[in-house]
Amino acid sequence: MFTMKFSSPDKNYWSEAYKNSSFAMIPAGGYLREWLEKYFKHSSGSVFEIGCFPGGYLDFWGNLGYELNGIDLVDKINPDLYNWLKFRGHQVGELINGDFINYKVNRQFDVVYSFGFLEHFINWDQILIKHSELVRPGGRLVIGVPNFRGLVQRSLHFLFDRENYYKHYLPTMDTGKWRRLLEERGFDVIFSGCIGNFDFWSAARPTKMFSCLIFPSINFFKKHIKFNNYLFSPYLCLLAVKRK
């Protein structure tokens, strides 16, 4: 059933996907934001986001007092995103319009993170190592990817979000592998696992069957399943600290 026909998205894909996106704050109450708020408070440190457009999470860290840095293929990060973050009153360092895979970043940061980035690469381990090299000793690394591998999430995305499903490399979605790789490279893992109660999001336009039959069922389970589980939780995360 779950045939793997992975196709990594390129710059044209991301530019098209974000062409109508506007800059906006991350709303309060979301499972990823609530998870971050458990571990991060006000600071005068620096952050670097890999895949930083459209900037909502940079804004989150800016509100905590961090200097903001990042890299993205999408052209609108300069000057549009830069100007928006400055308008929001944040301290902005360097926003790089480039390919993280081939770009050499010449400094380290207090926090390095990516959300929805790692799972688009077959060589995810090399990408994760490159993330880790940007973290200063004593700094923190945060990784987040959608959970398309748990049985419930995998079934829903395969059936109702298939084009998007094939742009995600499911073997990446294993926090145990991340943990082992990072521990070997001098990190202490504070958290690794799934977050969020049952939920489902789709990049596809809903079909009539989905709207009439599936969507009401999803809403029912969202109201009644109030715990997280690898089978159906929507997101996987890791937080690690680099040893000094």
pLDDT digits (tens, 9 = 90+) for 141-182: 999 999 988 888 778 878 888 887 888 899 999 999 999 999
Mean pLDDT, the chain, as a whole number? 87
Does a structural domain hold residue 3?
A: no
The span from the CA of 145 to the CA of 128, in Å, is 12
Contact 118, 142 (CB under 8 A): no
CATH code for the domain in which residue 20 is found: 3.40.50.150
Which of 165, 148, 141 has the alpha carbon at shortest distance from 48? 141
pTM of structure: 0.86
Does a structural domain hold residue 194?
A: yes
Task: Please report which confidence band the pLDDT of residue 10 belongs to, taking 50, 70 and 90 as the band edges.
Answer: low
**pLDDT the model gives residue 121:** 93
User: Where is average pLDDT lowest: 3-12, 123-132, 158-167?
Assistant: 3-12
**pLDDT the model gives residue 196:** 87
Does a structural domain hold residue 126?
A: yes
Per the structure, the count of domains in the chain is 1
Does a structural domain hold residue 120?
A: yes
Helices (H), 68-201: 80-87, 124-133, 151-160, 162-165, 175-184
| pLDDT over 90 percentage in the chain | 57
Does a structural domain hold residue 2?
A: no
**pLDDT the model gives residue 46:** 97
Does a structural domain hold residue 135?
A: yes
Contact 132, 182 (CB under 8 A): yes
**pLDDT the model gives residue 235:** 93
Does a structural domain hold residue 50?
A: yes
Does a structural domain hold residue 6?
A: no
pLDDT, mean of residues 183-207: 86
**pLDDT the model gives residue 24:** 82
- Enclosing domain of residue 53: 11-242
Q: Please report where in the chains the tokens 């900037």 appear, as a residue.
A: 55
**pLDDT the model gives residue 49:** 98
Residue 66 DSSP label? P
Task: Please report which confidence band the pLDDT of residue 4 belongs to, taking 50, 70 and 90 as the band edges.
Answer: low
